[in-house]
Amino acid sequence: MVKTPATAMTSSVEAVASKTASFDLQNVSVSYGSEKALEGVSFYIEPLKVTALIGPSGCGKSTLLRCFNRMNDAIDNVSVEGLIALNGQDIYAKAVDPVSLRMYVGQVFQRPNPFPLSIYDNVAFGPRTQGVRKRDELDEIVIDSLKKAALYDEVKNSLKKHAFELSGGQQQRLCIARALATKPGVLLMDEPCSALDPISTGMIEETVLHLKESMTIVMVTHNMQQAARISDTTAFLLRESIEEPATLVEVTDTTTMFTQPNDKRTENYITGRFG
């Protein structure tokens, strides 16, 4: 494969960078080797909204989420077909640098995964890789990111403390702050509260509601109440048998999804009749 110069690849991401980021998916399919895991997914992800991806285990939610920042690239036998456009730019085009893309499309994972560093160095890690070296600039980014993640007041006097000394809920908010430090336009969240207690979950949800004022958020969740509480749009994915790939059953505004779904399969899922 011909390599595109790094400067050109980076500028391709910068050219579409925006605080009102949107995704347009057209006939997206994902395969693991010869097995198709996800097929024919088409929908639009609105800017400055929370979009929830729901569905039973194994229906391709996390697989689809990883497509938005090309995390699937790390798996040798994965292939992605169709179009995923970020602000009109095909993110799988050769000119797009996946590393730069992941700075703009941040991700928070299911379990907290802070680096084995101090609180400060966790948040400063991304900006440093972007070339920020001045201490006052780093201080400003770290403080701002911790405030946006609703963690600053709890750690402001102990930024040199090792991240592993924090509680699970604090570690997850630290991971959110770390993602925010690169000033993303999109934040992907893969069941970010599944390992947390109700109080920590509430704090994460409150944080998400504030963050959507400045960025687009896509969240995978198994918690129907959580999707109903904090998402603006909900997409329901379903794999009807092990022999078939998962598909998008329907996508609509969350209120409609939970009160008047268009498909009986959606109603059965959200009312707990299966899944």
Task: Give residue 14's pLDDT.
Answer: 60
Residue 137: CB atoms within 10 A of its CB come to 12
- Give the type of residue at 137: E
Task: Give residue 76's pLDDT.
Answer: 86
Task: Give residue 263's pLDDT.
Answer: 95
Task: Give residue 13's pLDDT.
Answer: 60
CA distance 40 to 148: 36
Task: Give residue 272's pLDDT.
Answer: 83
> Two tokens at 72?
């699937």
CA distance 60 to 187: 19
Is domain 22-270 in CATH 3.40.50.2000, yes or no?
no
Burial degree of 77 (CB within 10 A; 0-12, 13-18, 19+): exposed
CA distance 225 to 57: 17
Domain ranges of the chain: 22-270
Encode the chain (275 residues) as per-residue pLDDT tens digits. Answer: 223 333 334 445 665 665 679 999 999 999 999 899 999 999 999 999 999 999 998 899 999 999 999 999 888 899 999 999 999 999 999 999 999 999 999 999 999 999 999 999 999 999 999 999 999 999 999 999 999 999 999 999 999 999 999 999 999 999 999 999 999 999 999 999 998 999 999 999 999 999 999 999 999 999 999 999 999 999 999 998 888 999 999 999 999 999 999 999 999 999 887 65
Give the DSSP letter string of the chain.
Answer: -PPPPHHHHHHHHHHH--SS--EEEEEEEEEETTEEEEEEEEEEE-TTSEEEEE-STTSSHHHHHHHTTTGGGGSTTEEEEEEEEETTEETTSTT--HHHHHHHEEEE-SS----SSBHHHHHHHHHHHTT---HHHHHHHHHHHHHHTT-HHHHTT-TTSBGGGS-HHHHHHHHHHHHHTT--SEEEEESTTTTS-HHHHHHHHHHHHHHTTTSEEEEE-S-HHHHHHH-SEEEEEE--STTS-BEEEEEEEHHHHHHS-SSHHHHHHHTTS--
Q: Which residues of 29-59 are buried (b: 16+ CB within 10 A; e: fewer)?
A: bbbeeeebbbbebebebebbbbbbbbbbeeb
